[in-house]
Amino acid sequence: MTTETECLFCKMVRGEINPQRVYEDEHLLAFRDINPQAPVHILLIPKQHIATLNDLQNKDLAGRLLTQVGTIATQENIAEDGYRTVINCNQNSGQEVFHLHLHILGGRRLNWPPG
């Protein structure tokens, strides 16, 4: 597991790395994925270091994370046509950065199954 000091996303929260931000408040940060899998591909993270979805205990933070998705989708003009959210949990799911993050994907027709 990655420590908070080494964590790529924690470095973004601390301002050591400057992502292309699309939303930020005291609890959350959203930014464009550097390897987009759709025309719109945004990552939404809690500012608090939480390694995986299994480690999320704060129901208020979970609610904030989920309710902000619709606002971001509207802001990015993908809410009406549709979008996908994905949270990978641990290695077999494809989680590469061990800081909880939610993918917001849209801007084209997304196929199913995804992987």
Q: Does the annotation count 99 as an active-site position? A: no
Residue found by looking up tokens 């997304």 in the block: 110
CB hemisphere CA count around 80 (13 angstroms): 2
Q: Which two tokens stand for residue 114?
A: 């995804």
Instruction: Specify the amino acid at residue 40.
Output: V
Q: Residue 107 burial by CB count (10 A; 0-12/13-18/19+): exposed, middle or buried?
A: middle
Catalytic site residue from 41, 49, 99, 101: 101
Active-site residue list: 101
